[in-house]
Amino acid sequence: MDDTVQPTPRRGLGKVGLIFACGTALFSDGYQNGVIGTVNTLIKIIYKDTPGLNLKHYTTTFSSLAFAGTFAGMLIFGLLSDRIGRKFGMILATLIVFLFAALSAGAYGAGGSVGGMLAALSAYRFLIGIGIGAEYPAGSVAAAENTEDPGIKSSSQHMLFALATDVMIDWGFVISAFTPLVLLWIFGEDHLRIVWRGSLALGTIPPLLVLYWRVRMHEPERFRKESMNRVGWKDYPVRLIVKRYWLRFIAVSLTWFIYCFITYPLGIYSSTITTTIIGDSAPLTTSLGWNVVINLFYIPGCMIGAVIVDKEALIRTYGIDSALVLQGIFGFAMSGAYTYLATPSHIAGFTIMYGLFLSLGELGPGICLGLLASKSSPTAFRGMFYGGAAAIGKVGAFAGTWAFPAIIDRFPAGPQQDSGPFWIGSGLSILSAAITFFFIPEVPENHMTNEDVKFREYLKANGFDVSLMGLKDEGTVESHIAEDKDEVVDVVRDASSEEDEKKGAEAV
């Protein structure tokens, strides 16, 4: 077999590094989505007195284009990563993010007009959104597939995936809040143009850091064995796939939709905290500093979730369901006591509750949704499954940002107006927990390996030519079935050996 097609598997740190090379570009997702909020704030301050400029219209259009780009990237690259390859998707996604992050930093309007500059920035934001969206079905899926390669301990598969994906996104949010603050300390409030352009320019560094490793890497072992990119569209088993996986896809997608529908609009709580604590006349450095603090609330949840996600039954039963129920309880508590807590004398308690609310969101669905989406389907169409579910989640985020202000307007004016929609959001958290519990299966160790074996046998039983599966020169499907079953047997044997050794040591 050609060594350039199927290299000898590396073990230890090499394999772990490969997982992170696939997933850590999602840091750019967190950074780009986080930094743009601060950039918008600075733009409103700098250009607020520009004649004939409708900044409110720009802000609305800007947000909509960003969501549209990410949505398109998830769907397009979900298809490309299955039909062409994970490596192709990852490299192209990295180049897109780098190019349009650089162009955004240097955005310029014809004749130096502010309106033209904002129009260019909006167009670049749509295009960078495509690159960000592409990372989900390309980078995340490749990271998940590499967690079941030889050399990776079964007991740490899910943890490594979580650290390389969701934890990276959350740290991206934190750094995106801290970067403008540092630039503001350096250049001061008289040079805000340097601050917003510099913040965007520094966003070109993360994709460059992983590009070198992505160019050198090979396709994941699972993709080389299980891909159906040699199957023509006419012969693609769409009916069989839909028949077997439609309910699972809807359940994952609906849970993701609800999570994003609730999470994204909850920025109203962060604005409540900063306005109550620092007021409207505080220095800009103080406002940006509190933005860093609020983003740090995500970190405890995602870090703890990554550590415990490999524990038995913690992925669905305790990971998502318990966290969603607790998040709903905290949401109800904050809504009910909103008029009492959102005051200067009690803002510390409100901030702690809000921080726990955000941490619980990361502890459960934040960590587990990507894991469930990437490991609940066979390798053959994992990119499309994951990309479709993530895109529906992004629709939930977009719907929430538009629906929540409208819901607020339906409540009577007064302090309770802001709290009203969160009764709805908390109720949806409980509903999401129920959907997850009843309709999404657990993903234990080596789940993708087992799912691929079952899927091949299912296709073969229904008359599909399974000899077309796998990349060219990767061997027969039958040999892969035997290899995968041997891997599962080896895992069980290793676990039994470890248990025997432990009992022997206790006896001595």
Count of C-beta atoms within a 10 Å radius of residue 84: 16
| SS3 letters across 68-121 | HHHHHHHHHHHHHHHHCCHHHHHHHHHHHHHHHHHHHHCCCCHHHCHHHHHHHH
HSE of 301 in the Cβ direction (CA atoms, 13 Å)?
28
| pLDDT beyond 70 at 494 | no
Instruction: Report whether pLDDT(137) > 90.
Output: yes
Pick from 2-11, 118-127, 146-155, 414-423: least confident:
2-11
pLDDT in tens, 406-437: 777 777 766 666 676 667 777 888 888 888 78
In angstroms, the Cα distances linking 348 to 163, 272, 280 are 30, 12, 18
The verdict on residue 41 lying in a domain is yes
Residue 161 scores a pLDDT above 90: yes
Question: Rounded distance, CA 388 to CA 330, Å?
Answer: 30
Is residue 87 assigned to a domain? yes
Cα 55 to chain centroid distance, Å, stands at 29
Are 252 and 260 spatial neighbours (Cβ–Cβ below 8 Å)?
Answer: no
| 388 touches 249 (CB < 8 A) | yes
Query: Average per-residue pLDDT in the chain?
Result: 82
Spatial separation of the C-alpha atoms in residues 18 and 7, rounded to whole Å = 13
Q: How far apart are CA 418 and CA 160, in angstroms?
A: 39
pLDDT on residue 340: 80
Higher pLDDT, 17 or 275: 17
- The torsion angle over the Cα atoms of residues 152, 156, 162 and 168, rounded to 10 degrees, is -70
Contact 267, 405 (CB under 8 A): no
Long-range contacts of 143-146 (CB under 8 A, 24+ apart): 143/19, 143/20, 143/22, 143/23, 143/374, 144/371, 144/374, 144/375, 144/382, 144/448, 145/86, 145/220, 145/221, 145/222, 145/223, 145/379, 145/382, 145/448, 146/15, 146/18, 146/19, 146/22, 146/220, 146/221
**CA 189/CA 353 separation, integer angstroms:** 32
pLDDT at residue 462, as a whole number: 94
Whether 487 is in a domain gets the answer no
Greater confidence (306 vs 500) lies with 306
Q: For 180, which DSSP code?
A: H
Q: Which residues contact 321 (CB under 8 A, 6 or more apart)?
A: 364, 433, 436, 437
What pLDDT, on a 0 to 100 scale, did the predictor assign at position 228?
Answer: 92
Task: Calculate mean pLDDT across residues 360-375.
Answer: 86
428 domain residue, yes or no: yes
pLDDT of 3 higher than 50: no
Res 343: pLDDT: 77
Q: Please check whether residue 491 lies inside any domain of the structure.
A: no
Q: How far apart are CA 214 and CA 267, in angstroms?
A: 35
The residue among 203, 205, 222 whose CA lies nearest residue 143 is 222
Residue pair 465/230 in contact by the 8 Å Cβ criterion = no
Is 430 within the bounds of a domain? yes
Name the pLDDT band for 279 (thresholds 50, 70, 90): confident
Which amino acid type is present at position 316? Answer: R
How far, rounded to the nearest angstrom, does the alpha carbon of residue 15 sit from its chain's CA centroid? 22
> When comparing pLDDT for 161 and 354, which is higher?
161
In a domain, 492, yes or no: no
Evaluate if residue 196 carries a pLDDT over 90.
yes
The pLDDT, as a whole number, for residue 265 is 67
- Kindly report, residue by residue over 285-336, the tens digit of the pLDDT: 888 888 888 889 889 989 988 888 887 545 555 567 778 888 888 878 877 8
Q: What is the mean pLDDT of residues 270-296?
A: 79
Higher pLDDT pick, 350 / 465:
465
Mean pLDDT in residue range 490-496? 43
pLDDT of 460 reads 94
Determine the Cα–Cα distance for residues 179 and 297; give it in Å rounded to an integer.
Answer: 17
Contact 121, 107 (CB under 8 A): yes
CA atoms of 270 and 264, how far apart (whole Å): 11
Distance CA 134, CA 70 (A): 8
| 149 belongs to a structural domain | yes
The number of domains in the chain is: 1
At 474, is the pLDDT very low, low, confident or very high (cuts 50, 70, 90)?
low
Taking the CB of residue 302, how many other CB atoms lie within 10 A of it? 25
CATH of the domain at 329: 1.20.1250.20
456: left (phi over 0), alpha (psi -120 to 50) or beta: alpha
pLDDT in tens, 119-128: 999 999 999 9
pLDDT of 338-359, one tens digit each?
Answer: 778 777 777 778 788 888 888 8
> 96: which residues sit within 8 A by CB, 6+ positions away?
127, 128, 130, 131, 134
Q: Tell me how far apart the alpha carbons of residues 466 and 472 are, in angstroms, rounded to a whole number.
A: 13
- Residues near 489 by beta carbon (within 8 Å), at least 6 away in sequence: none
Residues spanned by the domain of 47:
14-478
> 83: pLDDT confidence band, cut at 50, 70 and 90?
very high
Tokens of 322: 């318990």
Other C-beta atoms within 10 Å of 181: how many? 21
Of 415 and 151, the structure prediction assigns the larger pLDDT to 151
